[in-house]
A = this chain, B = another copy of it.
Amino acid sequence: MSSLPSASAERVQDLVDANHILHHQGIVDGFGHVSVRHDADASRFLLARNMAPARVQAADILEYAVATGEALMPKPPRLYLERYIHSEIYKARPDVTAVVHNHSPAVLPFCIARGARLRPVCHMAGFLGGAQHHDGPALFEIRDHAGPASDLLIRSRELGAALARTLADARVVLMRGHGCTVVADSLPVAVFRAVYTEVNARLLLQALPLGEVDALTPEEADATRITNEGQAARPWELWREQARQAQRERGPA
């Protein structure tokens, strides 16, 4: 292990902040996880050990192999059962730098009601659609891969690979009865997309009973995504400040 280059302290700190932001924004509760690709070695990624995101500190961040989804250390502590979500997406998608998996509360209804589509309806969530993704994120049905008696978790490389295939070249994939997984080429944009996936879902839940919904056109979705994600630093800095304040207030456990 000592021969491997270390991830930069900045990247580790960004991942700690991302954990706290996602908790403070209500995107994860005691469960859910976020990872980032190693900045000196694309065959590795960083992810906490098995613990609640709000409690993650730098010392809890471990290195994992993209190839296997396993921690790159002897006798690792308890790991997230679903670390293969991360490893298999990094394997299938060289363009991806960060992955968020969560049970985002307003998104779940779209993972539960048959036929409901999480189309982008506000300009902050153009990333949900676009020319390649007219109807919003695809739904991963684990019964198609693990049968009708699974525990719904992505607990193997095979299931991770199947999830990555359903994600394909999109930015978000819904998981039936479970949650969603969000990817991006940076941590701030992945966090931005996770938060605004939730916001868009909340809006859609409220708009659907009012009448026919006017979703973004594919071209609007692409144009708003490019514009707004160019400003992802703005909410990231606000959310980081808020999350760090919440951490300071936590005091000694």
Could you tell me which A residues sit within 8 Å of B by CB distance? 29-31, 50-52, 54-55, 81, 103, 105-106, 108-116, 121-124, 126, 148-153, 176-179, 199, 202-214, 216-217, 219-220, 223-224, 226-228, 231, 234-235, 237-239, 241, 245, 248-251, 253
Contacts and interface: CB of A to CB of B under 8 A. Distances in A.
Nearest to A149: B219
A55 B211 CA distance: 37
Contacts of A239: 30
Q: What copy number does this chain have within its complex?
A: 4
A120 to B, nearest CB: 9
A148 B217 contact: yes
Given A214-B114, A226-B151, A235-B31, A245 B251 contact: yes
A177 B31 contact: no
A123 B177 contact: yes
B153 A123 contact: yes
A209 B114 CA distance: 11
Contacts of A253: 241
A214 B176 contact: yes
A238 B30 contact: yes
Given A148-B219, A208-B209, A223-B150, A178 B122 contact: yes
Contacts of A150: 220, 223
B115 A212 contact: yes
Contacts of A250: 241, 245
